[in-house]
Chain A
Amino acid sequence: MANKEKDEDILEQISNQEYEFGFTTDIEMDVLPAGLNEDVIRFISQKKNEPEWLLEWRLKGLHTFERQAMPNWQNFEMPEVDFQAISYYAAPKNKKKLGSMDEVDPELLATFEKLGIPLNEQKILAGVEELEGEKPQVAVDAVFDSVSVATTFKAELSKLGIIFSSISEAVQTHPELVRKYLGTVVPYSDNKFASLNTAAFSDGSFVYIPKGVRCPMELSTYFRINTENTGQFERTLIIADEGAYVSYLEGCTAPKRDENQLHAAIVELIAMDNAEIKYSTVQNWFPGDKEGKGGIYNFVTKRGACRGKNSKISWTQVETGSAITWKYPSVILQGDNSVGEFYSVAVTKNKQIADTGTKIYHLGKNTRSRIISKGISAGFGQNSYRGLVQVGPKADNARNFTQCDSLLIGDLCGAHTFPYIESKNNTATIEHEATTSKIGEDQIFYLNQRGIDTEQAVALIVNGYAREVLNQLPMEFAVEAQKLLSLTLEGSVG
């Protein structure tokens, strides 16, 4: 009995000690020791000087996260993720730095070369830090490598009343807006990874487009000032007020190395009356080696709410990277006459896995949605489309069209389709069609015969196949994405 008490005393002491060292010192810390608990969350919140309500919300997220079981319905084997082995707070520059370009994986360099990326950018993307006294470059906002460009943009945007900043900054400058909208589309208890993100989100973007403003340029993380290493738990919140329009780009065509294996981001979009949000993603995270080892797990919760009448949200994604891509960008069509769109190209090769698709909830009257999904599997890749189209009892005249096609290259890959169609309204019209096939030998033969080799022929056919989706991307992005597709499939034919 006495022993037990003693043990408990010691335990208590130890835990207090840790607290003393870890959380109350004023010394700047770069990285918090691995582990997730209340103290860690409090520490993050304090570091960011967050208001009380945000801390409480994070804690709710944490408690929900601890309660929730790992999902088990996905069409792949869930890798072991040790949530306690992750450090949940890191000051910028968590990346392993390389001394010079010579240390970079030559394959990666070759890819940069083909994509036509300038040398300076290549260094940043590969995480090379040269020692010539320059400041460490962080995050992709530096891709355009000029603070002045960003500042000019920012001035122009703020003239229109557009708020575009990191979410941490927005919490300080516009707490009322953040509080009003944060977590209203993806609640803290949505799913295990959403809860984790709620508890531990590091940073992300905040965009607010005021009434009647049409954002004059494509917004992107590229231009964002003051971007820190947003890390693995990114959180994005975009609000388009009445009559506003914004197009937002996320990601980057160049392959990006990252030391964090698990990425659990959240994106929330809110469109009010007559507003439109267009969100485009090109994702090319490190997919792991040929055996699929070491690649990124990209588990993202993306959801948009068409709150207002005649509003529109459109998701476009080109997914070529990550060992596992697992996300369903969704749209909740609340407002009457609102429109939701989803365009996706997902490529899996080697041992990559993609389980992606969309969910569209028709709640308002005369709501419309369109889903175009193109999956391409090569090597041992497994590609699943999983989609939900739900029509509520009040969603009169809802209209949906879904098309999802799968292309198989090689006989060891897989393509799967799991659409859910749920209608509670007899005025709804829902169409779903899916096909799976390989590239036609006659098509390849035709191109061969015209002097185009098989590899190029496949690239050409695949680009044609994905055209409907690529066309939805902003122009510069579309060109890059096209190149990226051809590149990704290089070596998977013949």
Chain B
Amino acid sequence: MSQQVVENSNSLSLKDSLVKEFGLTYSKNQASEPEALLQKREAALAAFQQAGIPTTKNEEWRFTNLAPFLKDSYQMQPTGCLSREQIEQAITSAQVKDLNAYRLVLVNGVIDFSFSNLPENKQGWTLQSVAELKAAPAFAAVLNASLPIEKYPFAAINTACFTDGFYLELNRDFSLDKPLQIIHVYGDQENLFLQPRNIIQVNRGASAEVLESSVLVTGQLLFVNGVTEIQVEENAHFKHAHFQVGEQQERWIMHTQVRQLRDSRYDNYTLTLPHADLVRNNLNVILDGPNTETHLYGLYMVEDKHLVDNHSLVDHRHPNCMSNQLYKGVILDGGKGVFNGKIYVHRPAQKTNAFQQNNNLLFSPNGTINSKPQLEIYADDVKCSHGSTVGQFDEEALFYLRSRGIGAETAHSLMVTAFAFDVTNKIENEALRAHIEHLIEKTISAAQA
């Protein structure tokens, strides 16, 4: 009996350790942060404590049971640092063949300029660590400007506890000549729970292309609860690709909050491949001005009891906006996929064109897919539609390929590539497209081995 009590006190629940972590960081932050930010953090903690870690009784988490991931204990701050060799190796493994791009490297959520390769012209852009920036008085006002944390418990606890991340600003009318690849390197001797906060500000008329990916270099568990806030201002164009190729020890809850002002364009590509244990993407795009254009493309391949959950919200608040969403899923043996997309059209948002499509391919018998596309429409002069399908390989197409002397494995691989083509072909950068196509093929042949 007494032994059990001791055990319990040693292993705090994740919620308790997060609250404890807040206490620790808060006392440190008190010295450096302005009052407004501290208040925001306190309010966020209160919101988190009230909501708690969501269970499957919460409609937004109905298919994503977090209970198995809460059993492990985590360090809230990295305990040691990675060696240069480890980081270099990680960067090499994240390299995309033939991709001519700038590079930004973050190690456990902290910018490392020594590994980065950034544009030389410093007129057009600003890159700063959030740790430096948060002392600025104006920072608190920008933080969570369009993110209602009371609805998102994980974004709330991130707000309460974050210590660092990157801040990227593109100046007015500046256009980045090459894509920027952001490589997140993670690893520690202990299980690690990280809460990075990244902010991207694309000013009026600017344009840029950013590609994010991550590498885990140690064998310990990694739980990332990240929030990225993006503001795309008037006439700006931001292309944002996110590659999620992971190891089994990885758990991800990523919140991306995008606010678009008038005449802007935002393109998002979220490509999730095995083997991370849990991937939950919250992608919210707030259309806060007329005449905007938004494209969201997603591809997820999931296997072996892992779970990929894509939640998205496209919030049409002004007239004449166009949004287009296409998510495709391939559910391999034992995988679990969730798609939950919402299009919300407010009353003033007349002349809205909103499309949403989710297609799923169940590759093997033990996969599960839960799809919930939603439309909530309060304006009448709109064209909105959504579609969702769940299916398997077309027997006739397979037969056709087989009858031409193509082996079963190659035929499957061909058909998955064709299925994914609708998404991959939207990737304009050829090197990136070739890279992702290669990854898809690799995943399929591994699945069939």
Contacts and interface: CB of A to CB of B under 8 A. Distances in A.
A436 B353 CA distance: 10
Given A406-B375, A418-B372, A434-B387, 16 more contacts: A411-B381, A412-B347, A415-B377, A417-B386, A419-B372, A424-B368, A425-B365, A426-B331, A426-B364, A427-B392, A428-B362, A429-B389, A431-B387, A434-B375, A435-B385, A437-B383
Given A408-B380, A416-B377, A437-B383, A423 B372 contact: no
Contacts of B364: 426
Nearest to B369: A423
Contacts of B387: 431-434
Interface in A58-97: 73, 75
A320 B388 CA distance: 28
Contact of B390 (A75, A408, A412, A428): A428
B385 A433 contact: yes
Interface in B351-381: 360, 362-381
A420 interface: yes
Nearest to B383: A437
Contacts of B374: 416-419
B234 to A, nearest CB: 27
A411 B350 contact: yes
A421 B358 CA distance: 11
Interface in B251-305: none
A426 B367 contact: yes
A75 B374 CA distance: 12
A291 B366 CA distance: 52
B59 A73 contact: yes
Interface of B: 59, 63, 331, 347, 350, 360, 362-392
21 contacts: A75-B376, A393-B365, A406-B375, A408-B380, A410-B380, A411-B380, A414-B376, A417-B376, A419-B372, A421-B372, A422-B369, A422-B370, A423-B360, A423-B370, A424-B368, A426-B366, A428-B362, A432-B386, A434-B385, A437-B382, A438-B382
B377 A414 contact: yes
A436 B370 contact: no
A434 B347 CA distance: 20
A73 B362 CA distance: 30
A426 B363 contact: yes
Contacts of B367: 424, 426
Interface string A377-407: 0000000000000010100000000000010
Contacts of A363: none
Interface of A: prevailing SS: strand
A409 interface: yes
B1 to A, nearest CB: 33
A413 B392 contact: no
B347 A411 contact: yes
B59 A406 contact: no
Contacts of A423: 360, 362, 368-370, 390
A408 B382 CA distance: 9
A429 B390 contact: yes
B120 to A, nearest CB: 50
A390 B360 CA distance: 15
A437 B366 CA distance: 38
B347 A421 contact: no
Nearest to B355: A435
B376 A437 contact: no
Contacts of A437: 382-384
A434 B386 contact: yes
A422 B367 CA distance: 11
Contacts of A433: 385-388
Q: Which 4 A-B pairs have the closest CB atoms?
A: A426-B362, A408-B380, A430-B390, A421-B371
A436 B390 contact: no
A432 B365 contact: no
